[in-house]
């Protein structure tokens, strides 16, 4: 079924997810060629509407759109009429009048991309909304895991950290469960919600969580900007209890586990410096795969797009 928007992972079927992951592979293969561009979205316009800071998502969407030959406009929120009090609705109506084909939106308010999608004919892609969803992050995480485990059914992923405020935890655990992966959460009791998705083990003790035998440990960024009260005694204490210290990295290395993090990393909080040289760290793979997956998403939402074959 053709879709206009990509707003979350929960509403995608397993077949749609598998299709998007399959379609990402030929786009990744394109990166090894001397010409990394295809004319798939020639003549289409993409508008980047980021109300929150971003390095990876913003730049990889821009690169993805350009590699598909689309025209990209970066909407400069800080210098727009939004600073003069213009509402999001008026902003979207103005952008709609420009007949843009795609709006890629990041906003601190959960549900805002969905609201924009209902107001515009453009395809809206959620690039992260509040603590709600980050669907393209989930897709790139699943793609990265599938590169290591082509059939990930029954594999175990331990997600560590600030689950409560994390749209990444929400979307990535949803996609992994749809693919038959076992997911567990580890973090301070104050940051691991007791309610929420079923079939997710919850741990507050690092040793107990590692005894669950994960194949992948997935660290989340501690989102200080979304914490208006103190959820743990100090960052130092957090690192001691839940961070990947030098000693824990050694254990992870001995056990041959993969390590992931969506970025940006709080060095010395979630991860010690030595993780950057860990041979089974997939952090850079996640960044590279983000471009391929976002190309697949942009192409998938194009009206009348057929299965991609770059051969």
| Binding flag, residue 289, ligand CP (CB under 6 A) | no
Contacts (CB under 6 A) with ligand CP, residues 53-72: 54-58
Q: Is 43 exposed, middle or buried (0-12, 13-18, 19+ CB in 10 A)?
A: exposed
Cα separation, 16 vs 199, in Å, equals: 22
Task: Kindly state the smallest distance separating residue 285's Cβ from ligand CP, in Å.
Answer: 13
Task: Figure out which of the listed residues 137, 172, 174, 266 binds ligand CP, where binding follows CB under 6 A.
Answer: 137
Q: Which two tokens stand for residue 98?
A: 């420009």
Q: Helix or strand or coil: residue 196?
A: coil
Contacts of 254 (CB under 8 A, 6+ apart): none
Closer to ligand CP at the Cβ: 109 or 255?
109
Paired with 201 in beta bridges are 184
Place of tokens 């795969």: 289
Task: Kindly state the smallest distance separating residue 126's Cβ from ligand CP, in Å.
Answer: 11
Contacts (CB under 6 A) with ligand CP, residues 37-56: 54-56
| Binding flag, residue 128, ligand CP (CB under 6 A) | yes
Closer to ligand CP at the Cβ: 57 or 173?
57
Contacts of 138 (CB under 8 A, 6+ apart): 9, 168, 171, 172, 174, 175
Cα separation, 234 vs 105, in Å, equals: 33
Task: Report whether the peptide linkage leading into residue 264 is cis, meaning its omega lies within 30 degrees of zero.
Answer: yes
Task: Kindly state the smallest distance separating residue 218's Cβ from ligand CP, in Å.
Answer: 12
Task: Figure out which of the listed residues 154, 189, 264, 268 binds ligand CP, where binding follows CB under 6 A.
Answer: 264
Task: Kindly state the smallest distance separating residue 283's Cβ from ligand CP, in Å.
Answer: 10
Task: Kindly state the smallest distance separating residue 113's Cβ from ligand CP, in Å.
Answer: 14
| Binding flag, residue 263, ligand CP (CB under 6 A) | yes
Closer to ligand CP at the Cβ: 19 or 265?
265
| Binding flag, residue 226, ligand CP (CB under 6 A) | no
- Please give the residue ranges that form the binding site for ligand CP (CB under 6 A): 54-58, 128, 137, 262-264
């Amino acid at each position: 079924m053709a879709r206009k928007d990509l707003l979350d992972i929960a509403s995608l079927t397993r077949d749609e997810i598998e299709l998007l992951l399959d379609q990402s592979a030929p786009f990744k293969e394109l990166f090894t060629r001397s010409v990394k561009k295809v004319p798939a979205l020639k003549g289409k316009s993409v508008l980047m509407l980021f109300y929150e800071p971003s390095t990876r998502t913003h730049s990889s969407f821009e690169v993805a759109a350009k590699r598909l030959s689309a025209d990209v406009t970066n909407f400069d929120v800080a210098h727009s009429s939004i600073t003069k009090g213009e509402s999001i609705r008026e902003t979207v109506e103005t952008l709609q009048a420009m007949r843009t084909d795609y709006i890629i939106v990041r906003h601190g308010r959960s549900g805002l991309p969905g609201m924009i999608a209902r107001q515009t004919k453009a395809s809206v892609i959620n690039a992260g909304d509040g603590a709600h969803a980050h669907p393209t992050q989930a897709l790139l995480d699943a793609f990265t895991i599938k590169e290591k485990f082509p059939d990930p059914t029954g594999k175990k992923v331990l997600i560590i950290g600030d689950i409560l405020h994390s749209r990444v935890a929400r979307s990535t655990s949803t996609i992994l469960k749809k693919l038959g992966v076992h997911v567990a959460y580890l973090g301070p009791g104050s940051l691991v919600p007791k309610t929420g998705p079923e079939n997710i083990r919850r741990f507050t003790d690092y040793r107990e969580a590692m005894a669950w035998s994960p194949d992948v440990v997935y660290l989340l960024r501690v989102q200080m900007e979304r914490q208006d009260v103190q959820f743990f005694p100090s960052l130092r204490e957090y690192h001691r209890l839940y961070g990947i210290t030098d000693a824990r990295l050694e254990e992870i290395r001995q056990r041959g586990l993969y390590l992931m993090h969506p970025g940006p990393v709080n060095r010395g909080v979630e991860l010690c410096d030595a993780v950057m040289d860990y041979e089974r760290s997939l952090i850079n793979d996640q960044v590279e795969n983000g471009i391929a997956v976002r190309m697949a998403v942009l192409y998938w939402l194009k009206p009348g797009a057929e299965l991609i074959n770059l051969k």
